[in-house]
Amino acid sequence: MFSIHMWIVFELLVSYDRMVMHMVLNGQAKRKVDRLGENCMNHFDTVAAIATALGEGSIAIIRVSGSEAIPIVDKIYRGRQRLTAVDSHTFNYGHIVDPETGEAVDEVFCAVLHAPRTYTGEHVVEIQGHGGIVAVQRVLRLVLNHGARLAEPGEFTKRAFLSGRIDLSQAEAVIDVIRSKTDMAMKLAMSQVEGQLSGKIRSLRQKMVEMMAHIEVTIDYPEHDVEDVTTQHVIAEGRQVAAEIDRLLAGATTGKILREGLKTVIIGKPNVGKSSLLNALSRSNRAIVTDIPGTTRDILEEMISLRGIPLNIIDTAGIRETDDVVEKIGVERSRSAMNQADLVLFMVDASRPLEAVDQELLAAVRHYPTILIQNKLDLPRRVELQELRQLAEGMQIVETSVATGKGLEQLEAAVEELFLSGGIEGKEGTYVSNARHVALLEKGRREMLEAIQSAELGMTLDLVAVDVKNCWMSLGEVIGEAVGDDLLDQIFSQFCLGK
């Protein structure tokens, strides 16, 4: 029932819960003896979510709450002591390790907090990692794969209310924050959702809803001359759906956005400030990969997390050595770098008039997602803005002075906007970078495999239909489409029924 636009409030949840946590940690919470909550609490399962906003702050916290919180995290934690053995309210240094591969994913502090003196009133583990989007999402996925469920929007806070951890004035303050953040969160989520993933999932669900309508119509209209759905049919269609979900998930687990980041090239003529820009971006953004054992060091300086978006600056070494890709290898080489790029940062020197090489390069980047950067605005402007606008038709233009740090924030905002609006598309298929989406897709795949299995075992259609519908609902949650009347709409538009 709660599937309605869950994703919209996902972002919301983050700030909502964080705020409550602060209140509790600041000792403002007045213990309230609550009744209802305690009755219900035991029934709650263990949930987890990222509790810090994406790309903000110097650490990222994954909060796990519920009766199984400690054993679940313990399964993926390697430290001096088992988390199940440590005292309550302790910080424990160690690593999060993927038990399947033995690979260390992040270096962490785990705060272990036993119920009831936690802000949800339940057992809580807070995993504080380095906060890069890749590491955080991998840790969250490990937690989810080992028995926790992804928290629903506002769920931590809901549990906190129910266990009487916060009082009225705090609750109302929280609400104001939620509501003021909703619009922003919704906007972001909407733009993301209009992208490729939702398109893929919509068409997948459309395929599924046709199959489901067929199943449902043979059930609800047994005497109509509609051909019965055979289990063979369900199996065949189900396999296609499962394969399609697999492809989406493959994009998530091995997709380059998580593995390598968005391939980004910085292009511009000599001395325009490319390496300064790279340095500035690296300085102001956390490097994604740190010197955690098991990860490679050599990509350290190329991978940056810009507002939570992983960027992989291609040919960085080249830029560093010569500060001039163009000079050395010419426009042709730049073109081939661009060919691999998901994003082009194109720099012009605003203190000098446009030259032929600028125009030539601009013409070359026209077909790539490009942000045009007018650099060196600390010096007097010599470039013709109108001319530039004409040449850069359709591109976002930002003004910077990398030397003074001015305009970097606008640049970051521009990259984020382009990414979230779907303007940057991966060359290797659809990105599924959100752990919630991954969790739902995996759930959907499991459900579809169960449907196929049931059908193969000769289970009846009423049971097979349950799994198919669950899968359809899980996929719907990814894009925030609730179970509505669309199944009925499909039944009545696809089949001719009547008395």
Residues 241, 207 contacting (CB under 8 angstroms): yes
Which residues from 39-78 bind another protein, rule CB under 8 A?
A: 39-40, 43
Tell whether residue 227 is a contact of another protein (CB under 8 A): no
Q: Which of these ranges, 86-94, 126-134, 148-156, 381-389, lies near another protein under the rule CB under 8 A?
A: 148-156
Closest to another protein by CB, 8 vs 471, is: 8
Span from 78-86, 170-178, 407-415, 434-442 in contact with another protein (CB under 8 A): 170-178
Restricting to residues 420-459, which ones interact with another protein according to CB under 8 A? 457-459
CA 371 to chain centre: 23
The piece of 125-133, 187-195, 218-226, 241-249 that touches another protein (CB under 8 A) is: 218-226
Rounded Cα distance between 345 and 371, Å, is: 5
Give the closest residue to 154 by CA, choosing from 60, 21, 25: 21
Task: Choose among 279, 262, 271: nearest CA to 316.
Answer: 279
Coil/strand/helix, residue 96: strand
Q: Which is nearer to another protein, 127 or 491 (CB)?
A: 491
Longest dimension (CA), the chain: 82
355 binds another protein (CB under 8 A): no
One-letter amino acid at 477 equals E
Q: List the x/- string, 177-206, binding to another protein by CB under 8 A.
A: -xx--x------------------------
Give the integer Cα–Cα distance in Å for 381 and 401: 12
CB-wise, 36 or 379, nearer to another protein? Answer: 36
Q: Return the percent helix, strand and coil in the chain, to nearest 5.
A: 50, 15, 35
Asked whether 137 and 258 are in contact (CB, 8 A), the reply is yes
Interacting residues of 466 by C-beta distance below 8 A, sequence separation 6+ = none
- 162 touching another protein, by CB under 8 A: yes
Q: Is the peptide bond before 369 cis (omega within 30 degrees of 0)?
A: no
Applying CB under 8 A, which of residues 11, 12, 337, 371 lies at the interface with another protein?
12
Determine if 4 is a binding residue for another protein (CB under 8 A). Answer: yes
Terminal-to-terminal C-alpha distance of the chain: 33
Q: Residue 221 interacts with another protein (CB under 8 A)?
A: yes
Q: Contact residues for another protein (CB under 8 A)?
A: 1-2, 4-6, 8-9, 12, 34-37, 39-40, 43, 152-154, 157-158, 161-162, 167-168, 171-172, 174-176, 178-179, 182, 216, 218-225, 228, 457-463, 465-466, 482, 484, 487-488, 491-492, 496-499
